[in-house]
Structure 1
């Protein structure tokens, strides 16, 4: 098909950028003129695309969110979660729309929480596609709670500021009526009652580039049972999961590999003999050598583990992570612990029950078959053809 000008919008959070950058790369590969609307920190992730900066909307560093939005604080607890919705997601929405309206495009592909891009497409009466960067909202209780925040004056005030009329509904109002690209596969969902425009596309990720140098301790993985511990890139406080896991697994006959998500490794303190640490290691390199992953339930990391056939122990953090944990346990790909206690016992349980690895491997095959970013780009082009 002919070249189109496509705006790809992502909130400047690492867990959002990965999926949108993967779709962007495929669209660039197919000859489309792509404009990437994201924060300055992540503009380099959208190779081959023109960058549209956050200007009217306040740009921020996701590693220091509380600095740009003091109300969010450390990001923990109901008060911080509400502030995140009010001040970051909804609060910047109208300004995002102003930024996007200054660009020219034929279609928008947007992170489902980057509200401004969807509103800009609505203003211009142009097609738009949603990329769900978290699990689809399946819990009726969660939908009700989120709707109470978004569907009232706050939600419609944002729409009015963007030059649009009021609408009912909350997150569903920002799922495209034409196409929703959902990461994962249906077996990881908790309901079959999904909108007809939803298409599961597996894991949205760009090809891993081998780092210039792996950690000097990388050969220590040879012949060992590796347990990987990660808190992702948003909740990086070492006291939440990393330090408790290190303490629980010290002296165990496994090699524990911790990644800090960008925080200095010395924040972990003195490491036991069976623990290794790095700020970041590409999952596609580490997970094939991993027996069990301990995670706080970040959706991107969970999908990476599933694709690699690695079973998990999930100690859920905030926001969508309890929902992710429920999906992992329900699907049989791991177990859930509400607190980071007795992790040695939990790891031994997963290692001792092959059904968890077998199930992770089954789901991994399904993820790969779903097609990933290439399939997502095909579906985006189908929307263009219909228009």
Structure 2
């Protein structure tokens, strides 16, 4: 039986999709080991996988990230996030991977890593004969550079017409030579410490140094990259069934005929409900809609007084909730957006941190919703956006098109096929 080693940074939204993959593979009778943060040990073993703890230098509690003193926004904030959250733990990640994937007496047949797990790129820096294949499981938007797309981090969709590539060339030069040059220097220093040479790839192109990318999305949500230098496959989101649990007493109200609007700030960027949840509540207080709030574990009392058309819970079973939704209002977490699209639910997105502006830009580009281009939208802007999404069929039609693509995707079977080909030493088609 094949042996899969999964690896993720200790962030809930990155671990959760890999847990679904682990459960599927373990259910097939395969051996699965999972390198993750200690707080996810129980969730890992519940899938049937063997838990491997990250070293202390690579482990942290993601729930504390949002409670840190607010840092800079925009590009400066993205630089700080990449450096502190993803780059500096990479050497410890690599050391753990080397122990479990190279030096082990029972090495895995493949390493499947979260794209922000930079230790996997360090492992892939070894000659192929010295390591197992390394595959990226795309739990965030594709970051790969291309003349056909603007550089990652600027949240700019491709232009139609002849100005697209000239614009992109200028932006790529700006990003590489100025905006992210300090981060690239730190990445190169890390590679020199391990391999005696610089990275050989720009920061956002590290996926291209791996053996394949299996993106957990649909082709229609990602910008086309006709010149990608790495095999890319789209598996669709891997969505686990909910764990069940008691439904709130108001659950039956979801079927009374009013459009249901869900708003959430996810499980990390949820410490300040005045960013998105409270403005949405205020925006829709007088609308003929039922507004459902999930707080991602935060106390409901933090929301303040709730209008009569608002229902709130810390968590809800999304597999039961999303088929009932008319609109999803979100700060742009990649997994939640994919979940909405899998159910054909159009979106209103307001995100300003991490990869959320990139997710929001893809929502607008794909026609599946509205990007408010801010992390703190005004109630009036939210009201207009929700009314537009409810009133204009093109958004739901685009979301339904993406739902069709996701339904046709092969999920974990796509990943297994890629892994099997790599194990046989086959050369996968590029792109």
Question: Is the partner of 1:272 in helix, strand or coil?
Answer: coil
Residue 121 of structure 1: CA displacement?
Answer: 4.9
The corresponding residue for 1:90 is 87
The 10-residue stretch of structure 1 (336-345 or 295-304) with the greater mean CA deviation from structure 2: 336-345
Shift of 1:377: 2.6
Asked if the contact 2:38–2:53 (Cα under 8 Å) also holds between the matched residues in 1, the reply is yes
* Pair 1:153 & 2:185 matched: yes
How many equivalent residue pairs?
380
SS of residue matched to 1:52: strand
- Which range is displaced more, 265-274 or 117-126? 117-126
Counterpart position of 2:65: 65
Equivalent residue runs for 1:357-372 within 5 Å: 357-372=396-411
Look up the match of 2:111. 108
Counterpart position of 1:141: 151
* Aligned with 1:283 (options 309, 315, 318): 318
Counterpart in the other structure of 2:136: 130
Deviation of residue 273 (structure 1)? 0.7
Alpha-carbon distance between aligned partners in 1 of 2:61 and 2:305, rounded to the nearest angstrom: 29
Instruction: Decide whether aligned partners of structure 1 residues 335 and 118 sit closer, same or farther in structure 2, where only a CA change above 3 A counts.
Output: same
Write the deviation string for residues 26-69 of structure 1: whole angstroms up to 9, x where unpaired.
222233221100101222332111111122424211110267xx
Distance in structure 1 (CA, Å) of the matches to 2:330 and 2:368 = 13
**1:208, distance to aligned residue in structure 2 (A):** 2.6
Task: Name 2:159's counterpart in structure 1.
Answer: none
Q: 2:197 aligns with which of 148, 158, 165?
A: 165
- Contact 1:23–1:376 under 8 Å retained in 2: no
* TM-aligned CA deviation for residue 25 of structure 1: 2.0
C-alpha distance in 1 between matches for 2:176 and 2:333: 19
For residue 32 of structure 1, the aligned residue among 30, 33, 47 is 30
Most deviating of 233-242 and 75-84: 75-84
* TM-score, length of structure 2 as denominator length: 0.82
Deviation string, structure 1 residues 230-281 (Cα, Å, up to 9, x no partner): 2122211211100111111112111100111221111101111111111111
Q: Is 2:344 the partner of 1:347?
A: no
Tell me, in whole angstroms, the C-alpha distance in 1 between the residues paired with 2:152 and 2:207: 16
Q: Secondary structure at the match of 1:386?
A: coil
Question: 4+ runs of 1 displaced by more than 6 Å?
Answer: none
- Rounded to whole Å, the distance in 1 between the matches of 2:346 and 2:402 is 11
Indicate the SS of the match to 1:301.
helix
- Structure 1: state its 5+ residue gaps: none
**Residue from 367, 373, 380 that aligns with 1:338:** 373
Distance 1:8 1:263 in 2: 29
> Deviation per CA, 1:143-166, whole angstroms, max 9, x where unpaired?
743783476330022223445532
Say if 1:252 and 1:379 are closer, same or farther in 2 by CA, change over 3 A: same
Q: State whether residues 113 and 136 of structure 2, in contact with CA within 8 Å, keep that contact through their aligned partners in structure 1.
A: yes
Corresponding residue for 1:119?
122
- What corresponds to 1:204 in structure 2? 238
Residue 367 of structure 1 deviates from its aligned partner by: 0.7
Could you tell which deviates more after superposition, 262-271 or 148-157? 148-157
Contact 2:294–2:316 under 8 Å retained in 1: yes
Mapped partners of 1:88, 1:330: distance in 2: 28
What RMSD, in angstroms, separates the aligned Cα atoms of the two structures? 2.2
CA distance in 1, matches of 2:192, 2:28: 36
Which stretch of structure 1 is more off in the superposition, 295-304 or 131-140?
131-140
TM-score (norm 1): 0.91
The change in CA–CA distance for 1:282 and 1:175 in structure 2 (over 3 A counts) is farther
Q: 1:74 aligns with which of 53, 70, 89?
A: 70
